[in-house]
């Protein structure tokens, strides 16, 4: 049984719930339109005359026509084109011979109306209006009953996912294993007076497997799994969100189980913090009440997932509701390798002997499990498109380049002069990176257009780094500025191009981070900018901006001197790129070494091994 409904099902469900209200609005518009049309077709209200006035008007020949309804009234029209040309006379006497005689004498047309016709028309109009209200009431009741049936959400499901289907984030999995013990054996903890957690909040970047782990908790515990999204709880009817939550928790209490609320920040964000309407606050209040209201013996566990824990209401995070907060971060190199192996195994992807998943994991820093799953799938697609029986390293490289750099721009045309600029630009990046930052090994340099870029020099860290020194941050700025510096050195300052736009934005961001948040400015020192505390003075901001400019200009001058010192190597790599278009890292380094550059090679390391004196930890 599927745990999550697909998007089409959600759209159909929402449409069915809105259909009665749409019909209600349509019927209301039809009734209003019909009434307005009926009123527009009605003649103006006649003026009321006395009997003697009617006789005087007949004598004066001012009357055009008469319509007599015996025993009720006489209606007529004057010689006039104005809206008030109609009149009526209340005449209850059955004797109307005098009116007929005088009308015939002056040539006035006389007609007789059927007795009671006007009354019947009024009755018909009344019945039409009543029928409209009956239809409106029926549709309203249908709409309310439809919303009431949607008041309980979260289909009960049996999760077949276990921790065997989860790779990476071992620390998070270890914490969740304790939660499974609570679900399996609550009595063991109850004996010693331990209180079972009511809620677990998992937070971290998108794609790190929070939903998968929640399903694994239910699967390992052998309990029902109720999955909802924070955005589908609330509705436009007052009290609907609270009713839905009541129904959900009522179902969970009957058999116990895991209630998983994805994107809980849509439901549990701070009350009164620019929320759309008070109904959101009522729904959150109901969630708080429900999480307080169930006993640990009922075996209900609430798991929330969010990418923005800082937006959650503090009442939701207090002990007794979400007792535990579990960080689900991006996987390390070893964890990325485990995730890749899991996807290759579960999908039965046949990989060739030249595929090194450990190397691939190191080439994909700062990526999530979802990114890695997509990479394996894209590589399999490339292999199938080329008619291969196995997924080779070349297929993985092609898929990786597409995901990180964009699709190849086939048919792209540029002038020879532009290709020379691109080759020099990328050669500058590669040379500065190899010399200034050997920790990030050069993986590939190419002038093949991909995405919005005409070329790229791609570097791969030898190991995941969690602490970045000033030297490392400055080396990133040197790499970023080297492309612009190479253009200026080879072609002159008047011929530098717009190709360095993204590089300059990137290096400026790093320099601002160093000064504004890391206390690495030369004049401002340890002052840090914090948006949540008291604002800095204008003088401090100006000083920080001067420090940012000083860092960028100083490093630009430094990288220009470095490229001038190794100008033969720069020219040689640019020529090789124009000839071959793409060079691997080893091929590019061979060109540098053949032209007098001494390259420091750092072998990939495992976590916990020092990298150039900077220890890495997980």
- Please tell me the predicted confidence (pLDDT) of residue 2: 35
SS3 category, 101: helix
Say if residues 23 and 139 touch (Cβ distance below 8 Å).
yes
Of the pLDDT bands very low, low, confident and very high (cuts 50, 70, 90), residue 587 is very high
13-20 own/partner pairs: CB under 8 Å, 24+ apart? 13/150, 16/146, 17/143, 17/146, 17/147, 17/150, 20/139, 20/140, 20/142, 20/143, 20/146
290 is known as an active-site residue: no
- Please tell me the predicted confidence (pLDDT) of residue 183: 78
Residue range 47-115, CATH number: 3.30.720.210
**Nearest Cα to Cα of residue 559 among 476, 444, 455, 467:** 476
**Nearest Cα to Cα of residue 547 among 535, 562, 536, 533:** 536
Rg (CA), the chain: 40
Of the pLDDT bands very low, low, confident and very high (cuts 50, 70, 90), residue 167 is confident
Residue range 84-93: mean pLDDT, rounded: 73
Q: What percent of the chain has pLDDT over 70?
A: 77
- Please tell me the predicted confidence (pLDDT) of residue 560: 94
CATH superfamily of 156-327: P-loop containing nucleotide triphosphate hydrolases (3.40.50.300)
* CA separation for the pair 240, 244 (Å, rounded): 6
SS3 category, 47: strand
- Please tell me the predicted confidence (pLDDT) of residue 445: 92
> 54-72 burial, b if ≥16 CB within 10 A, otherwise e?
beebbeeeebeebebbbeb
Neighbours of 427 (CB within 10 A): 33
Residue range 388-393: mean pLDDT, rounded: 91
Write the CA distances from 86 to 46, 51, 61, 256, integer angstroms. 5, 15, 15, 78
Say if residue 83's pLDDT is above 60: no
Over the chain, what is the mean pLDDT?
A: 79
**Fold classification of 416-594 (topology level):** Methane Monooxygenase Hydroxylase; Chain G, domain 1 (1.20.58)
Give pLDDT tens digits for 455-490.
889 888 777 777 889 999 999 999 999 999 999 999
Please pick, among 426, 439, 474, 487, the residue that the annotation labels catalytic: 426
Give residues with Cβ within 8 angstroms of 170, minimum separation 6.
Answer: 335
SS3 category, 110: strand
Q: What residues does each domain of the chain span?
A: 7-42+120-149, 47-115, 156-327, 333-404, 416-594
Of the pLDDT bands very low, low, confident and very high (cuts 50, 70, 90), residue 191 is confident
Write the CA distances from 38 to 8, 27, 134, 396, 556, integer angstroms. 43, 16, 20, 73, 81
What pTM did the predictor assign?
A: 0.66
The class (CATH top level) of 333-404 is mainly alpha
Among 30-34, 393-397, 521-525, which stretch is predicted with the lowest mean pLDDT? 30-34
Of the pLDDT bands very low, low, confident and very high (cuts 50, 70, 90), residue 611 is very low
């Amino acid at each position: 049984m599927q745990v999550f409904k697909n998007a089409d099902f959600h759209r159909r469900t929402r449409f069915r719930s809105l259909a009665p209200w749409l019909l209600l609005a349509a019927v209301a518009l039809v009734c209003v339109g019909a009434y307005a049309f009926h009123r527009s077709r009605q003649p103006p209200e006649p003026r009321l005359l006395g009997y003697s006035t009617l006789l005087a008007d007949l004598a004066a020949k001012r009357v055009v026509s008469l319509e007599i309804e015996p025993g009720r009234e006489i209606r007529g029209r004057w010689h006039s084109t104005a809206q008030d040309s109609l009149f009526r006379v209340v005449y209850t006497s059955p004797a109307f011979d005098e009116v007929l005689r005088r009308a015939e004498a002056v040539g006035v047309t006389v007609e007789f109306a059927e007795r009671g016709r006007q009354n019947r028309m009024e009755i018909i109009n009344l019945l039409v209006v009543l029928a409209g209200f009956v239809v409106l009431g029926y549709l309203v009741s249908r709409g309310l009953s439809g919303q009431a049936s949607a008041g309980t959400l979260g289909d009960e499901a049996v999760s077949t996912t276990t921790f065997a289907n989860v790779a990476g984030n071992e620390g998070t999995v270890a914490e969740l294993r304790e939660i499974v013990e609570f679900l399996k054996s609550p009595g063991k903890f109850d004996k010693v007076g331990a209180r079972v957690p009511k809620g677990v909040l998992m937070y971290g970047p998108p794609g790190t497997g929070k939903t998968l782990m929640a399903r694994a908790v239910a699967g390992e515990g052998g309990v029902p799994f109720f999955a909802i999204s924070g955005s589908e709880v609330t509705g436009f009817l007052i009290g609907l969100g609270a009713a839905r939550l009541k129904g959900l928790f009522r179902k969970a209490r009957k058999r116990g189980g895991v209630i998983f609320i994805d994107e809980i920040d849509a439901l549990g964000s701070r009350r009164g913090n620019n929320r759309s309407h008070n109904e959101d606050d009522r729904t959150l209040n109901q969630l708080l009440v429900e999480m307080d209201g169930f006993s640990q013996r009922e075996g209900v566990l609430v798991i929330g997932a969010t990418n923005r824990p800082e937006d959650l209401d503090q009442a939701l995070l207090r002990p007794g509701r979400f007792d535990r907060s579990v960080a689900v971060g991006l996987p390390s190199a070893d964890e990325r390798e485990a995730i890749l192996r899991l996807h290759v195994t579960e999908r039965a992807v046949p990989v060739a002997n030249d595929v090194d998943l450990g190397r691939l994991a190191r080439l994909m820093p700062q990526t999530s499990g979802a990114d890695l799953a997509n990479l394996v799938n894209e590589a399999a697609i490339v292999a199938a498109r080329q008619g291969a029986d196995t997924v080779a390293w070349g297929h993985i490289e092609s898929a990786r380049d597409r995901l990180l750099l964009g699709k190849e721009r086939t048919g792209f045309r540029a002038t020879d002069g532009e290709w020379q600029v691109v080759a020099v630009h990328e050669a500058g990046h590669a040379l500065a990176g190899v010399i200034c930052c050997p920790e990030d090994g050069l993986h590939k340099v190419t002038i093949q257009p991909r995405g919005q870029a005409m070329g790229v020099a791609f570097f791969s860290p030898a190991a995941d780094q969690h602490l970045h020194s000033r030297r490392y941050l400055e080396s990133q700025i040197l790499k970023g500025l080297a492309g612009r510096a190479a253009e200026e050195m080879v072609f002159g300052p008047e011929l530098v191009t717009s190709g360095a736009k993204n590089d300059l934005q990137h290096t400026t961001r790093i320099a601002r981070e160093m000064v504004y948040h890391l206390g690495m400015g030369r004049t401002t020192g340890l002052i840090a900018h914090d948006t949540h505390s008291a604002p800095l003075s204008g003088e401090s901001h100006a000083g920080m901006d001067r420090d940012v400019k000083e860092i960028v200009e100083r490093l630009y001058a430094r990288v220009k001197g470095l490229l001038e010192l190794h100008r033969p190597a720069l020219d040689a790599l640019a020529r090789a790129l124009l000839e071959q278009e793409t060079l691997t890292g080893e091929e590019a380094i061979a060109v540098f070494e053949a032209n007098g550059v001494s390259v420091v090679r750092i072998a990939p390391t495992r976590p916990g091994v020092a990298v150039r004196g900077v220890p890495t930890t997980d």
